[in-house]
Structure formats: structure tokens, C-alpha cells
Copies of this chain bind each other. A is one copy, B any other.
Amino acid sequence: MILEVRADLAPERRERMRILIRKAGVARVEDLKSDLKVSVATVRRDLEALEEEGRIRRVHGGAVSMESRLEEEVFDDKANLALKEKRLIAEEALNFIGTGDSIYLDGGSTVLEIARLLAGRTDLTVVTNSLRAAAELSESGPRVILIGGELRRLSQTMVGPLTQAILGQVRLDKAFMGTMGLCIDDGLTTTDPNEAFTKSLVQEHARQVVLLADARKAGKISFARVSDLESVDILISDKKFPAKTARTLRKRGLKVRLA
């Protein structure tokens, strides 16, 4: 008689752990220890494995689920440590905006920085799926058009099939896009398929696609594929962007600007 088959138990335990963390959004090591009836050492090892898989993110004292709201914020926070870079990228992006342009602003913190810089530009028309960008521009400035669609809470953006209804009816001179992952082989990727759908739709409609991505996005691959890199006309990143990747992109015809 086999009392315990540990080879099956370990992955099962990790799965339970993952579920626990996702349900609560966060979990402390001590809680997981008592819930799963194992030692803290094992909990740490499992968390390490789950982090390796990208399912969670470890923090001091426990872990945060990748699928939770908090994680998106934490992830954002992490990315926002590059706030200065984002500002520089956004300022560089401004150079590509002409008088009277009709531009699209994607969700994401880097693109949001552009919105902050457009306060006085009453000559522009801004099309966006980002509630945050809309809020930023709601006081004054450009004409604002929201594309509508289902609200994705995590990112505060409108995504999904419904977005194509309005996108089909507007002209977009330039689209300023954010991304979660940028990879030579896998192109642009993001977390949510519906978001990916809308992003790719926008890129098809826009005359020119400007991708804003700080250096840490380079080489990252997220879950849902948006498009390949050929859809992008201009990439704006910061000085830390891998030179080799930049060269490859330039060879492929992209204009690369490192702010």
C-alpha cells in the first residue's frame, strides 16, 4: 500500500498554493505554511518555483498573485520605478505629434505620461481606450474620443470586440502604444487576449504606430500575442535598451529612438 506518492503531491501542493494566492490576491508565508501543513522552507521553495513560472511574484513576507489587481499595481509599481525614463520617453514621443493630428493613446503608464503633456494642445484629437488618459484630459486640452467597449478593471481600459465598432469610424494619424513584452521572435505581447485584440486592431487602423517601451520590456514575453514587430513603425525607449536588440529592430526597418 502506498501511503503517499510525493511525486504527485508536490505539484498538487503548488497548484493549491497558486489557487490560494490567486483567490486572496496575496498570501503570507506563515498562512501558507499552516494551510498546506508544510514547513516554511518548502513554502519558500514552492513560491520560488511559482515565481519562476511567472504565476506569482514574491514579496517580503509572502507573495502576490499575478492575476490579482494588486499584482498589476505592484507590477506597475515596479515599472514605475522607471518613472523618469517614462517621462523622457513621453517627451520624445511628443516630437512625433504634428499640429492637428488625430492620435491614439493606448493604456499603460508610459503612454499616460503623454496624456499629461497634452494639456494645452487644443489642436489635437485624442482617441483612447484608457479611462485614465481620458480622466487626465477631461479638464481641458484636446478633443477626446473614447472608443467604448468592455471595461477591463485591471488596466482601466476598454477592450474586446466592441471596440472595433468605433475604431472603424475614425482616422488615426499616429497610434502611441504600450506593451508588456517586446521580443524579437514573439513580437508584442500583453496579459489579456481582449486587450491584445484591441491593440492589434488599433495598429491596423493607424497610419503610423509608435511603440513606447522602457528597457525592461525588452525580451519579455507575456501571455497574449498582439502583433509582430513589423506592425510597429517607431520604437521609443530609454538608454538602457539593449543595443543588440535595437540594431536588429533597425535592420527590420523600425525607427528606434532612445530618449
Instruction: Using CB atoms and an 8 Å cutoff, list the residues of chain A in contact with chain B.
Output: 6, 9-12, 14-15, 18, 25-26, 28, 49, 52-55, 59-62, 64, 67-70, 73-74, 76-77, 80-81, 83, 131-132, 134-140, 143-151, 153, 156, 158, 162-163, 165-166, 168-170
Contact = CB atoms under 8 A, between A and B. Distances in A.
B68 A10 contact: no
Contact of A70 (B12, B26, B54, B151): B12
25 contacts: A9-B28, A10-B60, A10-B61, A11-B26, A11-B64, A11-B70, A12-B25, A12-B64, A52-B80, A53-B81, A53-B83, A68-B135, A131-B135, A131-B146, A135-B135, A143-B150, A145-B162, A146-B146, A146-B151, A148-B149, A148-B158, A148-B165, A162-B166, A162-B170, A165-B165
Contacts of A165: 148, 165-166, 168-169
Contacts of A131: 131, 134-135, 138, 146
Given A11-B70, A12-B25, A138-B151, 7 more contacts: A53-B76, A53-B80, A53-B81, A68-B136, A69-B135, A131-B134, A148-B163
Q: How many copies does the complex hold?
A: 2
Given A70-B12, A70-B15, A153-B139, A77 B53 contact: yes
The list of the 4 closest CB pairs from A to B, nearest first, reads A148-B148, A165-B165, A53-B80, A144-B151
Nearest to A113: B54
B166 A148 contact: yes
